[in-house]
Amino acid sequence: MLGKLMKHEFRATGRVALPLCGVMLALSVVAGMALRFWNASEAVSRAVGWIGTLYGGSVFAVAVGVFAVLMQHYKRNLLGDEGYLMRTLPVSVHELLLSKLFAALCWYVAAAVLIALSAFLVGALSGELRDVRPGDLWDALRRLFSYRDASYWVFVLLGVVGALSVTTLLFYADFTLSQTFRKHRFLYHVMAVVIFIALLRLTGSLNALAGRAAVHTDIGGGVPWLGLAELYVSNAVLYVLTWAALKFRPNIE
């Protein structure tokens, strides 16, 4: 059922997210071609500037917009009236939550890829890349990855995924818990901020305990992985809180 739920997720969020990305890609094409004339004349230069700004704005819009669509969809689909449909499906709360989390992570990757693609289009169409050959890109990447060993990149990957996941779950948890404490929402949010700050300070203290110096010098050592572990513990805590709130909420609205 997880696959079906994710399919539904992509369909529901893609309706808005894909056109947004489409606009960005279209603008990147326009910007790329316009860039050829960047020094044609005073007026044209200014127009090109505006087009570039538009394109830049669309990139920002995609970055923020995709996230906004995902968050709004979570709220509406599980916590709004649609929840009557979704939460009576023959699926577990785990499947509901995980499908949304995984779909969100996929969207982050997709958005990043599309943004990169749009930048590439600008470069390619404006002729700026005319001296670059496909082989060059490959070489550059290979050199980048060779600077560190595999464990470093695994660490980075896990860190990025963990961070994206924690951010997403933070919002999910906040939406869900604030609805559980609907009647005392302000109080809940104050409490949530206090707890969040306390957690950060706790993490900071743990790092200090483990010896800060070690973190910076030796990435293959045990300590940075402690930071990663904290990240995933936070993930787990937020996940369990959200799951519990969805499953045992005193009321649905």
Residue 121 or 245: the one with the smaller Cβ distance to another protein is 245
Q: How far apart are CA 18 and CA 159, in angstroms?
A: 27
For another protein, give the closer residue by CB, 10 or 232: 10
Q: Measured from the CB atom, is 211 or 250 closer to another protein?
A: 250
Q: Give whichever of 98 and 119 is closer to another protein, judged by the CB atom.
A: 98
Q: What are the structure tokens assigned to 160, written together?
A: 């990025």
Please, are residues 12 and 86 in contact by the beta-carbon 8 Å criterion?
no
Question: To the nearest whole angstrom, how small is the minimum distance from the Cβ of residue 94 to another protein?
Answer: 10
* Local structure of residue 91 (DSSP, 8 states): S
Place of tokens 């992509």: 10
Longest dimension (CA), the chain: 67
Residue 9 CA to residue 186 CA, distance in Å, equals 30
Comparing CB distances to another protein, the nearer of 189 and 249 is: 249
CB of 82 to another protein, least distance (A): 6
Q: How far apart are CA 36 and CA 52, in angstroms?
A: 12
> Is the Cβ of residue 173 or residue 246 nearer to another protein in the bound state?
246
Please state, in angstroms and rounded to a whole number, the distance separating the CA atoms of residues 193 and 38. 48
CB of 15 to another protein, least distance (A): 6
Contacts 24+ apart (CB under 8 A), 11-18: 12/73, 12/77, 13/69, 13/70, 13/73, 13/103, 13/107, 16/65, 16/69, 17/65, 17/66, 17/69, 17/70, 17/107, 17/111
CB of 38 to another protein, least distance (A): 41
Is the Cβ of residue 12 or residue 223 nearer to another protein in the bound state?
Answer: 12
* 121 touches 32 (CB < 8 A): yes
Residues at the interface with another protein (CB under 8 A):
1, 4, 7-8, 12, 15, 77, 81-85, 87-92, 247-252
DSSP 8-state assignment for residue 183: G
Give the separation between CA 180 and CA 16, rounded to whole angstroms. Answer: 28
